[in-house]
Structure 1
Amino acid sequence: MTKRHRVVVLGAGYTGMFTAIRLARRTRRAGVEITLVNPSGRFVERLRMHQIAAGRELAVRPIPELLAGTGVTFLQGAATAIDPEARRITVDGSAFLAYDTLVYALGSSTDTGNVPGADAHAFTLNGPEAAGRFAARTAEVAAAGGTVTVCGGGLTGIEAATELAEAHPGLNVTLISTAEPGSMMGEKARAYLHRALGRLGITLETGVRVAKVLPGAVELADGRTLRSDACLWTTGVRVPPLAADSGIATDDRGLVLTDATLRSVSHPQVHAVGDAAAVRMDFGLLHGSCQSGLPTAQYTADTIARLVRGKTVKPFRFGYFHQPVSLGRKDAVVQFTKADFTPAGLRLTGRTAARYKELVSGSPLMTYRYSRHVNVTTLVSRGGRAVPEPTV
């Protein structure tokens, strides 16, 4: 009897889920056994966590339902150790799971450890439960006419601030950012974004850094203290230390160092995708996002399928396409980009942009659904060139 090739995918976020489903279809006759491991049985739509924060309910999507009919085995549990030499994973501290190929897709979360008080006094959007706790607190603050501070002027902070201001008209929302919100966009798209912030009554504190988070305030680096009845922390990213602790080569942030085929430079049987991977194109290191994560998942599923069949693989290539930002439920701005993420001339605004952003947010689930039956292609080969693998 021919031994089945065992593939284990760690993490059932956007990239891990897509890798497992696509790989199952690509290897359905190749004798491959796929196991998807995740601590929670619920698939989390991270692109929509700001909607939960504003008090909106999202559909609960059980992971086994998304995997139905694929042949992928789901194991609910947390990977606590990896032995890359023995090719074995420890799950929940006691169970062992062997693999021939490992896909490391554990993703990232908001880092509250770099500013004093953030871990104790700030909320995050690290999952539905965390977003739900913030929503409950925000409802109390809004009822009292209080103030919510959103720390971080990136896309997540902008979406959270505008969603909150729209859902709670009596709430005072302050957005604090070291850089100008929308600084990565073109001038016209950025101007539209700022008009939306003004229309929603959001107070901007730009060019400043939060030095400390207090129980009822945030202290800025310039010495000022701002009232904050609830603080939402959206800046800074951290990844699980599992790869580094297991002896897999990582960079100084814990991202798995990959070669041009997204395989670990120290352990080629380990593939890394999404936020967990240090993926470098000729224009620089990819930043963690669904836009770049899904193509890494698609590429990795196809790569493993080819390797199992003894075929060669080409280097991963990727180029960015857009920067979509929701500004509440009925407004948005979409800045289309060049492959290196710099702004191009085209943009969308208003309701058209809002519909576009909703399509983007819902596209992963559609991709999973159709990928069970056909090979769905994401934006993998648009511009960008792989560069030589890093030196360990």
Structure 2
Amino acid sequence: MQHRIVVLGAGYTGATAAGRLARRLRPEDVTITLVNAEPDFVERVRLHQLAAGQSLTRRPLAGMFAGTGVDVTVGRVTGVDVDRRMVTVLDADDGTRELPYDTLVYALGSGRNDQGVPGVAEHAHEIASRPGALRLRERLAGLAAGQPVLVVGGGLTGLEAATEIAEARPDLDVALAARAGLGDWLSPKGRRHLRKVFDRLGITVHEHTEVTAVEAGRVTTADGRAVPAAVTVWTTGFAVHPIAKATSLEIAGTGQIVVDRTMRSVSHPDVYAIGDAALAMGPGNKPLRMSCASGVPSAWQAADAIAARLTGARVPTVPVRYFNQCISLGRREGLIQYVTADDRAVRAALTGRTAALYKELVCKGAAWGVAHPTLLPARRRPVVRRQEAPAAAVRTPA
């Protein structure tokens, strides 16, 4: 009987895991089903570009995984029963089906986090999803010259959104509100370059500003100020998909699934969680941040661990570490902040046009890796551990 692997979510992490599993395991031994709400792979790291009016390459999942042995199912996950080992999926025709699994890879990712601030859901736009980016795109296209656009959130997503919009629409009055100082986690060189770009693009920065309410046409800050905003873009972090909370999986206070070093659930050994959905510890015993930089290595780790356990091989545990933070600042500027293994900035940083090209290569490389799942070599071949051969071992390809 074939071992049934179901992967939930086809973002960077889920698609990467499915492709890597297809390379590591034989189709006669396993079935791999990849479930996603949309028929296309979405380059989430480019959604600020989509919102600013640019066109992105369409990447149908069916074409990407044709001939790989991965079965793509388009549908929205509405429930996961980890006791019955069953996933409930609602398809485009509102039909419900159940998918049984032997191993589940949970990669449903995250969306906007409103931080409990009143008015965000009703009046703010988000770019954590393709539909959200398209709604923002339409709204920005309808703005007249001089109207104010406020990006709330001074993290990587906020910086990229503010600069992309300001570059694409120099006729708008773009501002950014950050709870701390602008880029205060960066190196001195990184901070100087960031301010230089913001000044050149004419972006107003409200530093040390906490937004406490969002209304139509403005936001209110903790110190009682009203900041005008014909459009508010909310980028204050991410909240994980809520499905996991309704299961008996061990969940952290963040809503993430608690996993071990192999990305395996600590409460249900047949479930793996990767990317934003997982609470995994990185260097310095610090939780990995929600990002593509964490998600893709976690997908490699989970896929390699699953393949090793199914084939009776040694289970690899390669620590996920950071090397840099890649920030696009429009199409012509960028910032590559080099960091320690646990994601703390060091003095070195790459800036300007070279950094923009670097970031573009990183984005293209990530998309290429997902779109060509069978062309990448496996990171490590399993080594048979005869003393720990599993009861239902399968074979690894020659």
Q: By the TM > 0.5 criterion, same fold?
A: yes
**Aligned pairs for 1:74-153 within 5 A:** 74-92=72-90, 94-112=96-114, 114-141=116-143, 143-153=144-154
Give the letter aligned to residue 290 of structure 1: C
CA distance in 2: counterparts of 1:121 and 1:281, whole angstroms: 36
User: Is 1:8–2:23 an aligned residue pair?
Assistant: no
Q: Distance in 2 between matches of 1:250 and 1:316?
A: 23
Checking the alignment, whether the CA contact within 8 Å between 1:69 and 1:372 is kept in structure 2 is no
Q: How far did residue 303 of structure 1 move?
A: 1.0
Deviation at 1:314, TM superposition (A): 3.4
Q: 2:66 aligns with which of 65, 68, 73?
A: 68
Instruction: Tell me the distance in 1 between the aligned counterparts of 2:287 and 2:255.
Output: 14
Identify the match of residue 333 of structure 2 among 326, 331, 334.
331
Match of 1:359 in 2: 361
Give structure 1 stretches of 5+ with no counterpart. 379-392
Q: Unmatched 5+ residue regions in structure 2?
A: 381-398
Question: 1:154-196: per-residue Cα shift (whole Å, max 9, x none)?
Answer: 0100001001111111110010010122222111111111110
Deviations 1:112-138 (A, max 9, x none): 261100100000013222112112211
Q: Distance in 2 between matches of 1:315 and 1:249?
A: 21
Corresponding residue number in structure 1 for 2:396: none
Distance across 2 between alignment mates of 1:254 and 1:42: 26
Residue type matched to 1:121 in 2?
H
Distance in 1 separating the partners of 2:331 and 2:211: 28
CA contact under 8 A between 2:283 and 2:321: conserved in structure 1? no
Q: How far apart, CA to CA, are the structure 2 residues paired with 1:237 and 1:374? A: 30
Q: How does 1:1-392 map to 2 (within 5 A)?
A: 3-28=1-26, 31-92=29-90, 94-112=96-114, 114-141=116-143, 143-283=144-284, 284-375=286-377, 377=379
Q: Is the 8 A contact 2:23 2:378 kept in 1?
A: no
- 2:99 partner SS: strand
Aligned residue for 1:345, secondary structure, equals strand
CA distance in 1, matches of 2:85, 2:239: 25
| Distance in 2 separating the partners of 1:276 and 1:100 | 20
Which stretch of structure 1 is more off in the superposition, 273-282 or 196-205?
273-282
Whole-angstrom CA distance in 2 between matches of 1:30 and 1:69: 14
Q: Percent identity?
A: 45
> What amino acid does structure 2 have at the position aligned with 1:22?
R
Alignment check: 8 A CA contact 2:301 2:317 kept = no
Are the aligned partners of 2:27 and 2:69 in contact in 1 as well (CA < 8 Å)? no
- TM-score, normalising length: structure 1: 0.93
- Cα separation, 2, equivalents of 1:273 and 1:197: 34
**Counterparts of 1:340 and 1:125, CA distance in 2:** 27
Select between 48-57 and 110-119 the one with higher mean Cα deviation: 110-119
Rounded Cα–Cα distance in structure 2 between residues aligned with 1:158 and 1:374:
32
* Letter aligned with residue 351 of structure 2: T
Report the TM-score when normalising by structure 2. 0.91
The separation in 1 between residues aligned to 2:63 and 2:311, in whole angstroms, is: 29
* 1:316–1:272 Cα change, 3 Å: farther
Distance 1:61 1:371 in 2: 13
Q: CA deviation at 1:104?
A: 0.4
Taking the aligned partners of 1:376 and 1:234, their CA distance within structure 2 comes to 35
CA contact (8 A) 1:273 1:300 kept: yes
Kindly state the Cα deviation for residue 77 of structure 1 after the two structures are TM-superposed: 0.9
Q: 2-side partners of 1:376 and 1:358: how far apart?
A: 24
Q: Which one is further off, 362-371 or 231-240?
A: 362-371
Q: Which runs of 4+ in 1 moved over 3 A?
A: none
* Contact 2:189 2:347 (C-alpha < 8 Å) held by counterparts: no
The letter of the residue matching 2:304 is D
Shift of 1:79: 1.6
Work out the CA distance in 1 between the residues paired with 2:260 and 2:345: 28
Change beyond 3 A, Cα 1:184–1:113: closer
Distance 2:44 2:186 in 1: 22
Residue type of the partner of 2:45? Answer: L
CA distance in 2 between partners of 1:370 and 1:241 (Å)? 30
- What is the deviation of 1:345? 3.1
Give the superposition deviation at 1:281: 2.3
| Deviation sequence 1:18-67 (CA, Å, 0-9, x none) | 00011001102661110001111111110000001111111221111111
CA RMSD across the alignment:
1.5
